[in-house]
Amino acid sequence: MTLLDRITRITTVLPRGTAFVGVGTALLGGANYVHLAAAGHTLSVDDMASFSVLWTIVASLGLGLFFPVEQEVTRVVAARVVAGDGALPVLRRGAALAGGLLAAVLLPLVLFAGPIADLFFHSDRSLLVALGGAFAALACAHLTRGMLAGLGRFEAYGFQLGLDGLLRIALSVGLALAGVTSVFAFAAVMTVAPLVSVLATLVPVRRGARPGQQADWGELIGQLGMLVGSTLLAQVLVNVAVISTKLIASDDSALVAALLSALVVARVPVFVFGAFQASLLAGLSTARAENDTPGYRRLLLRACSMTAGMGLSFGVAAAVLGPLLLPVLFGAPDVLGPVDFGWLALGTTLFLLAMVLGQALLTSGAARQQLLAWIAGTVVLLAVTLSPLELRSRVEIAYTLGALVVVTTMMLIVRSRVR
| Torsion, CA 157, CA 159, CA 160, CA 162, rounded to 10 | 120
Neighbour tally for 354: CB within 10 Å: 29
Least confident piece of the model among 11-25, 104-118, 120-134, 153-167: 11-25
Say which residue, 238 or 407, is predicted with more confidence.
407
Round the average pLDDT of the chain to a whole number and report it: 81
- List pLDDT tens digits, range 28-85: 878 888 898 898 889 888 888 888 888 888 887 888 889 888 888 888 888 788 778 8
Asked if residue 366 has pLDDT above 90, the reply is no
Task: Identify which of 327, 362, 321, 376 has the alpha carbon closest to the alpha carbon of residue 345.
Answer: 321
Question: In this predicted model, which residue has the larger pLDDT, 351 or 244?
Answer: 351
Rounded to 5 degrees, φ, ψ at 314 are: -70, -30
Of 152, 147, 110, give the one whose Cα is nearest residue 131.
Answer: 110
For residues 207 and 190, which has the higher predicted lDDT (pLDDT)? Answer: 190
Convert the pLDDT of each residue in 298-314 to its tens digit. Answer: 888 888 888 888 888 88
pLDDT at residue number 160? 92
What's the farthest any 2 CA atoms get from each other in the chain?
A: 59
pLDDT at 276: 61
Query: What are the tens digits of pLDDT across the range 79-107?
Result: 788 778 877 888 888 899 899 999 999 99
Average pLDDT of the residues in 327-341? 72
Q: CA angle at residue 404 from 401 to 407, to 5 degrees? A: 155
Q: Higher confidence at residue 282 or residue 140?
A: 140
Question: Could you give the CA distance from residue 362 to residue 369 in angstroms, rounded to a whole number?
Answer: 9
Query: CA 87, CA 220: separation in Å to the nearest integer?
Result: 12
How far apart CA 268 and CA 135 sit, in angstroms, is 23
286 Cα distance to chain centroid: 23
